[in-house]
Amino acid sequence: MRDPFTPKKKLPHWLRALEIDSAIDTFFFELGQSSGMAWERTILFFRRFHATGWKRPVFELLSESVTLGCAGLIVMLALAIPAFDAVKRDWRAQSDYSVTMLDRYGNEIGKRGVLQEVQFSLDQLPDHLVQAVLATEDRRFFEHFGIDVIGTLRALVENARAGGVVQGGSSITQQLAKNVFLSNERTLDRKIKEAFLALWLEANLTKREILKLYLDRAYMGGGAFGVGAASEFYFGKPVTDLRLEESAMLAGLFKAPTRYAPHINLPAARGRANEVLTNMVQAGFMTEGQVISARRHPATPVSREATPSPDYFLDWVFEEVKRLAPSGQRNLIVRTTIDMRLQRAAELAVESSLRESGDAYGVKQAALVSMDLSGAVRAMVGGRDYGASTFNRATNAQRQPGSSFKPYTYAAALEHGYTPDSVILDAPVSIGNWSPQNYSRRYRGRITMMQGLTHSINTIPVRLSIAFGRQPIAEMAERLGVQTPIRVTRSLPLGTSEVTVLDQATGYAAFASGGFRARPHGVARILTPDGEVIYDFNRANGPPKRVLSEEVARDMVKMMHNVAEHGTGRRALIPGVSVAGKTGTTQAYRDAWFVGYTGDFSTAVWLGNDNYKSTNRLTGGTLPAMTWQKYMRVAEANIEHRPLPGIPLPPPAEDEVPVAEGLPAGGELLGSGRLAPPTEDILDRLEERAKTAEAAAPALKREASAAAPGGTATR
């Protein structure tokens, strides 16, 4: 033992360093030894589970399945996390509202919310109604955990056997999750969110609560939501008084309310009700003898007008009402901005275009928004069939606008000192490794800005963005009313940042009004049942705000009017009306647009596919422009036309569209003597090739002369 009173001898520095090095070596040596022994013990432990022979591939397969399954669950959970944000809001609040919608003239056009006067508890509903719904929509509802695995597998087998979709595999809980939180988009992302939300509903609600919410929230056609409202609409009686045949008819509406709505197609509704009765017998809820009377005496609905309700517009307005209505007010009457004459014209224009040329162009969906220059929405089409899909493509779908975004670039250029006559070089241009090309793959040399917009040249807006930057372009779009956030990228001037159809109609309205920003709205007034006005749009928002100078707005109208008169938008021309606008076509022909305006309306039209599948070379100057023209001929019929800024009114047209019906005398929206869109497209291409050949003819003739003996031309 060292004497504590003897001072410790100080070690030399080199000896101290050796001591530290030795300690480090010892630590890592012992760590390696202990790790090796632990690894050996682990191997010896797991060796007893080693499988040989036929067992080995089985266990290898199970191991890989567990690994891939865990990875898949992690990915699915990551995709579903955004869906759970929806449960944070008061998603039950819709049941607190009872909103009656009126058009701009005061006529009732529909209702939204679960109406209090048709609310019934589950015990008050007829047993045969509940049984009909369960037998048709989800027979194992009270047995599964929100996702019916057996039912899904059975549906897959039946669909594979039939070679198409004949059965749905979604449970009632999944359908409720879709109705309350999601849209009808047919995407994998939506199905994953739907599955997780179904599990959440099962964990937080009882089966009876889920079934009651489903019966109250489902769309039943005719603008009616829930079995209570549907019973009143179709049969004029409370749901508690329904007979078996009437319950079967209502239960048949859940699959396709528009197709089987009895006030639109009574034979189809009765055929579907007969299928529901068969389902009830197969499910064991009733015998064939109990349903035979209902088969022989099918339900007869009360007489209703077969005019469809503007459901996409009503859904959008309902969300607006919930945002604007004072707290505590739930029973409301809303005077909207919609004009039903124009709404019917918009629906007919979209449907006729898709029916006539949709298959030829490979396009399945369309959307249209039309507003006056203040922003009051007069017509809205959010898709081809509300019964098939309630997803509003006019307000919720964000799609690339393509060249229809270029006017924002040109407006920014005008504010930076350019004019419509400013000369820009149309030649190859690159930003880094990105080199955009023109649609025609040709270049015109030095051209004016007006020519660049008229012929939708891609290099011109790109060169402009290089000159003054891309941020002013994004700020211009936002200033004019585009509410979707703009992504500032190299390709922004060519329209690669997604927007909505409503955005485009709003932005273009600022040009037509001479520089004032439109405020898109569908609610003009909100009243109580006693007539008290609790919200008025004009009082709440004041006068419109100027966002462009008169000179810039006038120059933009001049250039966009030239697009319609001499450029890519010629098919949108209306006799006797000044038209301005811009076409838009995105890469791989996924989206086609025409956005245009007159002195009275700004209207945006989009055509494409929900799954982003490429169309058959559909461009904005063909079917979208023609759809726009079909609708706007009706919108501009027999009204006093307002001139566009700086553009005189053309001579009045000789053949006005009758204003009473909003259709030409023959009942068709197509103008007389028009060719089908594919034919016009082919003729346009032939015209372009003829011009190219004509321009190249002198050079070819000179070459032929030089090559011939003696300098003479040969054939």
DSSP 322-333: HHHSPTT--EEE
Higher pLDDT, 374 or 147: 374
Residue 432: pLDDT over 80: yes
The domains of the chain, with CATH numbers, are 125-296 (1.10.3810.10), 346-636 (3.40.710.10)
Using the Cα atoms of residue 24, residue 25, residue 27 and residue 32 in order, give the sign of their dihedral: positive
Q: Residue 673: its pLDDT value, please?
A: 38
Highest mean pLDDT among 56-65, 98-107, 662-671: 98-107
Return the number of other C-beta atoms located less than 10 Å from residue 314's C-beta.
23
This model's pTM is above 0.75: no
Q: Residue 193: its pLDDT value, please?
A: 78
Overall residue count recorded for the chain in this entry: 715
Q: Residue 671: its pLDDT value, please?
A: 38
DSSP 387-406: TT----TTTT--B--GGGGH
Measure Cα distances from 672 to 551, 569, 652, 664 in Å: 38, 19, 17, 10
List own/partner pairs for 418-424 with CB under 8 A and 24 or more apart. Answer: 418/449, 418/464, 419/449, 419/555, 420/448, 420/449, 420/450, 420/555, 420/558, 420/559, 421/448, 421/449, 421/450, 422/448, 422/449, 423/447, 423/448, 424/448, 424/449, 424/452, 424/460, 424/463, 424/464
Residue 175: pLDDT over 90: no
Give per-residue pLDDT as tens, 474-533. Answer: 999 999 999 999 999 999 999 999 999 999 999 999 999 999 999 999 999 999 888 889
Higher pLDDT, 158 or 234: 234
Whole-number mean pLDDT of the chain? 83
Q: Residue 663: its pLDDT value, please?
A: 40
pLDDT band, very low/low/confident/very high, at 3 (cuts 50, 70, 90):
low
pLDDT band, very low/low/confident/very high, at 461 (cuts 50, 70, 90):
very high
Average pLDDT (143-161) is 72
Contact residues for 549 (Cβ-Cβ < 8 A; gap 6+): 415, 515
Which of 290-304, 367-381, 679-693 shows the lowest per-residue confidence on average (mean pLDDT)? 679-693
Q: How does DSSP classify residue 508?
A: H
Element (H, E) at 134: helix 127-137
Cα–Cα distance measured from residue 139 to residue 153, given in angstroms and rounded to the nearest whole number: 14
Q: Residue 667: its pLDDT value, please?
A: 36
Which of 83-92, 101-110, 326-335 shows the lowest per-residue confidence on average (mean pLDDT)? 83-92
pLDDT band, very low/low/confident/very high, at 306 (cuts 50, 70, 90):
low
Which of 121-125, 266-270, 381-385, 416-420 shows the lowest per-residue confidence on average (mean pLDDT)? 121-125
| Three-state secondary structure call for residue 10 | coil
Q: Residue 356: its pLDDT value, please?
A: 93
Which of 40-49, 179-188, 200-209, 345-354 shows the lowest per-residue confidence on average (mean pLDDT)? 179-188
Give per-residue pLDDT as tens, 568-627. Answer: 999 999 998 999 999 999 989 999 999 999 999 999 999 999 989 999 999 999 999 999
Helices 340-361, 623-635: axis angle to 10 degrees equals 160
Q: Residue 596: its pLDDT value, please?
A: 96
Q: Which residues pair with 112 in a beta bridge?
A: 99
Which of 166-175, 303-312, 674-683 shows the lowest per-residue confidence on average (mean pLDDT)? 674-683
Q: Which residues pair with 584 in a beta bridge?
A: 593
Average pLDDT (666-670) is 36
Give per-residue pLDDT as tens, 340-358. Answer: 999 999 999 999 999 999 9
Which of 176-190, 432-446, 578-592, 597-611 shows the lowest per-residue confidence on average (mean pLDDT)? 176-190
Q: Residue 708: its pLDDT value, please?
A: 43
Give per-residue pLDDT as tens, 676-713. Answer: 455 555 665 666 566 555 555 555 455 445 444 443 33
pLDDT band, very low/low/confident/very high, at 662 (cuts 50, 70, 90):
very low
CB 192 within 8 A of CB 165: no
Cα–Cα distance measured from residue 378 to residue 369, given in angstroms and rounded to the nearest whole number: 8
Cα–Cα distance measured from residue 669 to residue 343, given in angstroms and rounded to the nearest whole number: 13
Residue 19: pLDDT over 70: yes
Residue holding tokens 């191991």? 63
Return the number of other C-beta atoms located less than 10 Å from residue 320's C-beta.
17
pLDDT band, very low/low/confident/very high, at 69 (cuts 50, 70, 90):
confident
Q: Residue 465: its pLDDT value, please?
A: 95
CA angle 335, 337, 341 (to 5 degrees): 110
pLDDT band, very low/low/confident/very high, at 201 (cuts 50, 70, 90):
confident
Q: Residue 92: its pLDDT value, please?
A: 61
Average pLDDT (308-336) is 86
Higher pLDDT, 275 or 44: 275
Q: Residue 116: its pLDDT value, please?
A: 46
**Nearest alpha carbon to residue 416 among 493, 469, 459:** 469
pLDDT band, very low/low/confident/very high, at 96 (cuts 50, 70, 90):
low
Give percent of the chain above pLDDT 90. Answer: 47
Q: Which tokens belong to 600?
A: 């009275």
Cα atoms in the 13 Å half-sphere on the side-chain side of 47? 6
Average pLDDT (621-636) is 95
Residue 55: pLDDT over 80: no
Contact residues for 664 (Cβ-Cβ < 8 A; gap 6+): 655, 657, 658, 671, 672
Q: Residue 668: its pLDDT value, please?
A: 37
Annotated catalytic sites, by residue? 137, 403
Q: Residue 77: its pLDDT value, please?
A: 72
Q: Residue 670: its pLDDT value, please?
A: 37
Average pLDDT (229-243) is 88
Q: Residue 67: its pLDDT value, please?
A: 85
